[in-house]
Amino acid sequence: MHITLLWILQIVFIPALSPFAIGLTRLIKAKFQNRKGASPLQPYRDLWKLFHKDEVVSEDASWIFAFAPYVVFGVTLAIGAMIPLVSTVLVTGLAGDFLVIVYLVALGTFWLALAGMDTGSAFGGFGSSREMMVAAFTEGGLVLSLLTLVLLAGTTNLTGVAAAVAGLPFADVASVTLAGVAFVIAMLAETSRYPFDNPATHLELTMIHEAMILEYSGKRLALMEWAAANKYLIFISLGTTLFFPWGMAHTLGTGAIALSVAILLLKDALLCAAIATLESSIAKLRIFRLPDLLFTACILGLIAIGLIA
Amino acid sequence: MITLLLSSTGFFGFLSLFLVGALGSLLCMRRDALANYVGNSFAALGSLGALVFSFVALTSGRAPTFTLPAALPWLNFSIHIDPLSAFFMMVISLISVFCSIYALGYVRHFYGTYNIGSLGFFFNVFIASTLLVASAHNALLFLIVWELMALSSFFLVIYEHKQKENVEAGYLYFIMTHTGTAFILMSFLLLFRATGSFDFDTIRASGAMISPLMASLIFVSALIGFGIKTGIIPLHIWLPSAHPAAPSHVSAVMSGVMIKTGIYMLVRIGFDLLPHTQLWWGFLVITLGAVSSIFGVLYALAEHDIKRLLAYHSIENIGIIFLGLGSALVFAALNQPTLALLGLVAALFHTLNHAIFKALLFLAGGAAVGQVHTRNIERYGGLIRFMPVTALCFLIGAMAISGLPPFNGFFSEWLTFQALFVGAALSLPTKMLFVVAIAALAYTGGLAAACFVKAFGAIFLARPRSEAVSHAVEATFPMQFAMAMLASLTVIVGFCAGKISLMLAGVATSMQALSGAALPGHFILAEVSVREGFATLSMPAVLAVLLMALGAIGLLTAILSRKQCVTTGPTWDCGTALTPRMEITATGFSHSIIVVLRSVLRPTRQSAVEYHDAALRYFPKSRSVHFATPDVFLALYRPISRGMTRLSADVRRIQNGNVNAYILYIALTLLILLFILAW
């Protein structure tokens, strides 16, 4: 397969499939709740509908509110192009560094929180406050869990890490497992899932992400929703390619790439199912219990690095 | 041409511009506007001259040296501008150029209330002495200009002397800075005792005469002395009150560059003058850095005075610089000059970056304070509509200081991370210190972003929470120009990070401990690669990817939603009338983080209720909650201050007003002296 085609595949993979990942997770949750559930394609229809609706913007909002959806979505688009997905061939020294990805995520969060404060609604402000609290306390666990893999692999480039983790000796399994648990905790926090946030609620006492985007409508709401879906699939794919890196194509052969896409889709679907199962079996935590969980992730990361010989 | 510029003529040329500015503004002090123009335009010209001088000195590879003889033994007017001095002079003059231009517009609001002439005088003296601190090459000359810098900045701190708290802040600053000078003096005297010279060149050459124990003593007293100037926790207590008290353009210079003179001397002493670098020096510096960065940002979060908030962020960023510096010391002690160079370049890069964005934030914050006339951000809100340029500049500064790509702050934090990652691969006990430092740096980044969402949101977004906001007008042209230049510098420095790292490596290798080392990996404009491809980063690529993603998504929405229209309506109000009181406040925003960390921050909370019927207490008239997060490190100073007070009371007893007693004291002193001599 031509390298340009592979790059196009890499770039469109996240935005094209992220609504499906959300739809699939919702469907599995519906089954747990004994509901029939909407088709996994429903999020695509929702986005299409929102893009064709007129928009109402608050009279208190400034250009920050208008511009934020583009930044928040653009950041996920950029990250989607940088993370390891189907092939280890696409190693670029330009921007695949794990700190770039962590800090780009922070850039998106920064703008999302600003947008939440811009309309002067009580919901938006509290959503931003909670989001920044969760995001700030997540940072340590996320960096340390990824750093464990980075130190084992000997490179900070995530595609390089994915290629190296598959060949690690068995002695490192404890470190990788601990880092994996820390990553899952950080992932749930970053993607606004249980037990941190309830993605299906509009109840003001519990919401974080939904509170910040409450004032959005039309195309900007579509961008915000789509960006959240992208972030979800980005973290799912990072989890599967970094901690279960088997099946990535090492060559440019069309067959190898097709197989690797199929394996990645399967792994991502399984992780979606796991998250849906987790969300159906645990309760949301009180907001002041969340930092305990996030500090646990940081401690796990510390131990994981300590265990590296 | 270059020879003439780099001669003593060039050096004293720009210094004399400051002198003209200082004396000129004093002479014109009866005419406010004239004093402002004379004082600040000569400050700007002098800084511009210093900028050209230091830039040429840095890039031409020459180290201008000149000595004027002085009448006193050991003291000579010895100036030697090696690359390290030139770099710090460049940072100082770069920031002071824009701060002086800004001052042209900013000082106007002091007309009629304060003496503009003395402001111009002290501002010029302050910049000139800060430049001299970076170029002095003799310990005694250094102490003289150091004191000049301390005194001129003290007078700038108490400039708005009609407010009592400014004078108190000034006294605290005065006491702390002189405690620092005492320790600095001690380290210089110890150096003199070991090497017999006050001249930096001689000291460097006679490093073999310093024993390891002596080196450690010198390092620790220098760390305390210069640590006070940098505002490292727990020596920071003067900083959050002194920086806000000064006029904003002075705060920008103090926070942006004055505290960096402490970093300059720590680098000079740690890497250039002292032999026998010990491993524990590095551990100590890393620990101080981690504590300062975390606590600095936490206290900034708890703060709702905009200038105090920025001052606490200076403590945080000094902590980040210390992390790079500490790892460099550790690697230097382990005899790994290549890795030490990486840490030192990270520290120097963050020094440059912090100077740029902190000055920018102080200038933008000062512009807002000048319009709304309060530093309490709870009384702002919605200022982005009245001051759009200031808002944009503050936003860029906020993103840069939070370490977000593609701005300059991200690169230096990334490089600091790389230096710490090297340490995380060492053997066990050492490794954990580095890993904890990495975690601290990661949390600091997240908390700084939270703090600046709070600050920007509370000041510029939503609806005005006080009447004064709606009367605000955009800053004047000189102020806008200075802010816009600094804001574009955050992008440019981020873009050229690879080139600038190389330049800084040249600066760092001029240090004796690192001479001959080369940066690990390759550093070019397009790409930075650390340790044979361990980590690669291209700041231009990050910027390009972000711009392309923004362009693509803009195009997509323009096509998909081309027929849709946008209407404006009120914010959803749940059926009640929307008032500014419904917005989140800065205190509310950071409250959850402070509550989570209440066991370390120990916030205080006092609530009071007033009743219409005091006897029965059924109908409350008003409720108030006072929430505060006092600095816990102040508690460390209470025993010292109590002890000093008690000691002073005891000492007073010997001063009983009886002449006979005084004669007895003199006789006793003479007797003791005689005994000592006879021994």
Show me where the domains of chain A are located.
Answer: 3-307
Least confident of A159-173, A260-274, A288-302: A159-173
Residues of B whose CB is below 8 A from A82: 545
At A204, the pLDDT band (50, 70, 90 cuts) reads: low
Which pLDDT score is estimated for B70?
A: 67
What ipTM, to 2 d.p.? Answer: 0.96
Least confident of B571-575, B620-624, B647-651, B669-673: B571-575
CA angle A135, A141, A146 (to 5 degrees): 115
3-class DSSP state for residue B570? coil
pLDDT mean over A93-111: 89
Q: Residue length, chain A? A: 309
Residues 6+ positions from B553 with CB-CB distance below 8 Å: A70, A73, A74, A77, A223
Interchain contact, B553 vs A74, CB within 8 Å: yes
Read out DSSP for B517-536?
---SEEE-SS-EEETTTTEE
User: Taking phi first (over 0 means left), then psi (-120 to 50 degrees means alpha), and beta for anything else, what does residue B612 get?
Assistant: alpha
pLDDT mean over B104-113: 89
Question: Which of B453, B561, B582 has the CB atom closest to A110's CB atom?
Answer: B453
3-class DSSP state for residue B375? coil
Which pLDDT score is estimated for B407?
A: 95
What is the rounded CA–CA span in Å between residue B431 and residue A193? 34
What is the rounded CA–CA span in Å between residue A150 and residue B533? 12
The pLDDT of residue B305 is above 80: yes
Read out DSSP for B204-261?
HHTGGGS-HHHHHHHHHHHHHHHHHHHT-TTS-TTHHHHHHHS-HHHHHHIIIIITHH
At B264, the pLDDT band (50, 70, 90 cuts) reads: very high
A vs B, Cβ pairs < 8 A, gives: 273
Show me where the domains of chain B are located.
Answer: 277-517, 584-628, 634-678
Which pLDDT score is estimated for A1?
A: 65
Cis peptide before A43 (omega within 30 of 0): no
Read out DSSP for B302-344?
H--BHHHHHHHHHHHHHHHHHHHHHHHHHHHHTT-HHHHHHHH
Mean pLDDT, rounded, of chain A: 90
Minimal C-alpha gap between A37 and chain B (Å):
28
pLDDT mean over A175-188: 94
Which pLDDT score is estimated for B297?
A: 95
Least confident of B125-129, B351-355, B505-509: B505-509
Closest-CA residue to B379 (of B388, B392, B387, B369): B369
pLDDT mean over A282-290: 87
Provide the CA B259 distance to its chain's centre, in angstroms: 5
Residue A296 forms contact with B (CB below 8 Å): no
The pLDDT of residue B29 is above 90: no
What is the rounded CA–CA span in Å between residue A233 and residue A238? 8
**Max avg pLDDT among A8-22, A156-170, B602-616:** A8-22
The pLDDT of residue B486 is above 70: yes
Residues of A whose CB is below 8 A from B458: 117
Closest-CA residue to B264 (of B54, B498, B121): B54
Q: Alpha helices, DSSP H only, in A195-253?
A: 209-212, 218-243
Least confident of A204-213, A228-237, B88-97, B331-340: A204-213
Interchain contact, B589 vs A128, CB within 8 Å: yes
Q: Tokens standing for A277? A: 């199962």
At B619, the pLDDT band (50, 70, 90 cuts) reads: confident
Q: Tokens standing for B53? A: 């001088």
pLDDT mean over B112-128: 92
**Max avg pLDDT among A249-253, B428-432, B554-558, B654-658:** B554-558
Which pLDDT score is estimated for B621?
A: 85
Residue A122 forms contact with B (CB below 8 Å): yes
Residue type, A309: A
Q: Which of A156, A157, A159, A207 to mutate to test the interface with B (most CBs of B within 10 A)?
A: A156
Helix (H) or strand (E) holding B78: strand B77-80
Residue type, B300: A
pLDDT mean over B48-67: 88
Q: Tokens standing for B18? A: 């400051």
What is the rounded CA–CA span in Å between residue A50 and residue A3? 34
Contact between B299 and B312 under an 8 Å Cβ cutoff? The reply is yes
What is the rounded CA–CA span in Å between residue B89 and residue A244? 52
Residues of A whose CB is below 8 A from B424: 147, 151, 305
Residue type, A230: N
Interchain contact, B566 vs A218, CB within 8 Å: yes
The model's pLDDT over B400-438, given as tens digits with 9 standing for 90+, comes to 999 999 999 999 999 999 999 998 888 878 899 999 999
Contact between B392 and B486 under an 8 Å Cβ cutoff? The reply is no
| Binding-face residues of B in 583-622 toward A, CB within 8 A | 583-584, 588-593, 595-596
Q: Tokens standing for A46? A: 């929702």
Minimal C-alpha gap between B561 and chain A (Å):
6
pLDDT mean over A130-157: 93
3-class DSSP state for residue B388? helix
Task: Tell me the pairing of strands B528-530 and B535-537.
Answer: antiparallel
Q: Which residues pair with B78 in a beta bridge?
A: B67
What is the rounded CA–CA span in Å between residue B25 and residue B19? 10
Residue B536 forms contact with A (CB below 8 Å): yes
Alpha carbon of A93 to those of A98, A142, B246, B526: distances in Å?
11, 22, 46, 10
Residue B23 forms contact with A (CB below 8 Å): no
State the residue for tokens 């920031």: B95
The pLDDT of residue B564 is above 90: no
Question: Which of B414, B452, B583 has the CB atom closest to A120's CB atom?
Answer: B583
Read out DSSP for B254-311?
IIIIITHHHHHHHHIIIIII--S--HHHHHHHHHHHHHHHHHHHHHHHH--BHHHHHH
Q: Tokens standing for B669? A: 């002193």
Cα-Cα-Cα-Cα dihedral sign, residues B508, B513, B516, B522: negative
The model's pLDDT over B166-214, given as tens digits with 9 standing for 90+, comes to 999 999 999 999 999 999 999 999 999 999 888 898 888 888 888 999 9
Contact between B244 and B305 under an 8 Å Cβ cutoff? The reply is yes
CA angle B517, B520, B522 (to 5 degrees): 115
Residue type, B568: T
What is the rounded CA–CA span in Å between residue B120 and residue B126? 10
Provide the CA A45 distance to its chain's centre, in angstroms: 21
Which pLDDT score is estimated for B157?
A: 94
Q: Which residues pair with A254 in a beta bridge?
A: none
Contact between B283 and B326 under an 8 Å Cβ cutoff? The reply is yes
Q: Tokens standing for B49? A: 């001259």
Give the whole-number percent of chain B exceeding pLDDT 70: 99
What is the rounded CA–CA span in Å between residue A9 and residue A15? 11
The pLDDT of residue B526 is above 80: no
Minimal C-alpha gap between B568 and chain A (Å):
5
Cα-Cα-Cα-Cα dihedral sign, residues A137, A141, A146, A148: positive
